[in-house]
Amino acid sequence: MAQLQQIPHLSYLLKWVLLALVIGVSVGSASAFFLTSLNWVTNFRESNTWIIALLPLGGLIIGLTYHYYGTSVVKGNNLLLEELHTPTQIIPFKMAPLVIIGTLVTHLLGGSAGREGTAVQMGGAIADRFTHIFKLIETDRKIILIMGISAGFASVFGTPLAGAIFALEVMVLGRMRYKAIAQSFIVAYIADYTCTAWQITHTQYQIPFISAMQPVILLWIVFTGILFGITAFLFSQSMHFFSGLFKHIKYPPLRPVIGGVFIALAVWTLGTTKYIGLGIPTIVEAFSIQQPEYAFLLKLIITAFTLSAGFKGGEVTPLFFIGATLGNALFLFVPLPMALLAGMGFVAVFSGATNTPIACTVMGMELFGYECGLYIGLACFIAYLFSGNKGIYTSQIVGGPKHYFYTWLSKK
C-alpha cells in the first residue's frame, strides 16, 4: 500500500525533472548564443565607433518592429510578472527573438543597456511553450514561468543560486513563492551548466582583502548601504521620469529615434564609449583602479534614457556598473578596501532597484566569495530598505511595506 501511495509522488518528481532538463538545456543554449552574439557586436562597435551615428536608425527599426509586430510583448519583464500574478494567455514565443534582436541592435549601435532583461524574457518565452505542449494547469504554469526566469538569469550571469532565488523573490515585494523552490534551483543549475558547456566564460571579479568587522566599520557599511539605496531609488525614478517624458511622443516608433539622436550626441560630446553598452571593462577596473567620481551618475542617466526611449536589453548590468563605480568613488573617504566597496555597490544598488536583497546577497557571495557575505548582505538589505517601495519593475506587487515609514508615507 505504501508503495502505491508513493507512485504519484514519483511521477510528480519525474515530470518536473524532465521539464527542468528540457527548459534548462533550451534556455542555457539560447543564453550561450545570445552572449556570444552580444560579445561580437560589442567588439565590432568598439572597433568601429562611427557606427554609433546609426543609433537613431537602429531605434527606428526597433520601434517599428515592436509597434507593428510586438505590441503583445512590449512590456517585457513586466509582462512575465503580470502573467505570474494573473495568468491570462501563453507568453508569445516571438518575445524571445524580438528581444534578442532588439538587444543586439541596441548594443551594436551604442545604447546603454544590460542583458538580464533579454535573458529573463527569453527564458520565460521558451519555458511557457511547454505549458502549451504539455497542457499544464494554471498552478503548474506559474512554476514554469518561474523556471524560465531562473534559467535565463542563472545562465546569463553564471550564478545559479542567485538566479533561482531571484525568480522566486522578484514576483512579490516582501514574499517568496516556496512552492517552486526545488524546480527553480534544479533548472538554474542545468541552464548554467548548459551555457558553460557551450564554452561560455563569465567575467571574474576579485575582492582580495576584507576589513575586520568592528563597530566603526559596521557604521560605514550602514552609511554606504544608505547611499546605494538612494542611488537605486534615483535610478528607478529616472526610469519612470524618462518613460513619462517619452510618452508625450504619440507615435511610439519615433521615441527610440529621438532618444538615439540624444545618446549619439552625448557619446560624441563625452568623447568616450565608456558609458554605453554593458560597461564590463569599467566594472572590472572599479575593483582596483580609481574611476571618475561622476561615472556612476553618467551611466545612470544614459541607461535610464536609453531604456525609457524604447531600446532593448536590461537594467541589471548597468546597475552593476553604477554600484561598482559609486563604491569606487566612496573609497575617496570611506575607510574600506576599494574592491570591497565596489563589490558592495555592485550588488546593493541592484538589490535596491529590484527589491531582491536575498538574491543579490547570494549573487555577491557567488561572484566575490563567501567570506565577504556579511558585508555584502548588510549593504544589500540596507540599500533595499532605503530605495523606496517601488523598483524598476512596475508590475512587481508590493506584498507588504519594507518598514513602517513607508506605511506612514503612503497615508500622507
User: Which residue ranges of the chain lie beneath pLDDT 70?
Assistant: 1-8, 85, 172-177, 395-412
Predicted local distance difference test score (pLDDT) of residue 89: 76
Residue with cell 542545468: 190
Predicted local distance difference test score (pLDDT) of residue 139: 78
Amino acid at 356: T
Predicted local distance difference test score (pLDDT) of residue 49: 96
Backbone angles phi, psi at 172, to 5 degrees: -130, 125
Predicted local distance difference test score (pLDDT) of residue 177: 65
Interatomic CA distance for residues 268 and 260, integer angstroms: 12
- Count other Cβ atoms within 10 Å, centred on residue 284: 16
Per residue, the 3-state secondary structure of 8-19, as one string, reads: HHHHHHHHHHHH
Question: Do the Cβ atoms of 89 and 132 come closer than 8 Å?
Answer: no
Predicted local distance difference test score (pLDDT) of residue 2: 47
**Domains of the chain as residue ranges with CATH:** 8-197 (1.10.3080.10), 215-408 (1.10.3080.10)
Q: Which three cell numbers stand for residue 142?
A: 506559474
What value, to the nearest 5°, has the Cα angle with vertex 257 and ends 256 and 259?
60
Interatomic CA distance for residues 347 and 361, integer angstroms: 7
Residues whose CB falls within 8 Å of the CB of residue 53, separated by 6 or more in sequence, listed in order = 264
Each residue of 292-306: pLDDT tens digit?
Answer: 999 999 999 999 999
Q: What is the DSSP string of 232-262?
A: HHHHHHHHHHHHHHHTTSSSTTHHHHHHHHH
Interatomic CA distance for residues 162 and 358, integer angstroms: 8
Q: DSSP assignment, residue 398? A: E
Predicted local distance difference test score (pLDDT) of residue 288: 96
Each residue of 168-202: pLDDT tens digit?
Answer: 888 755 556 677 889 999 999 999 999 999 999 99
Total residue length of the chain: 412
Q: What pTM was estimated for this model as a whole?
A: 0.92
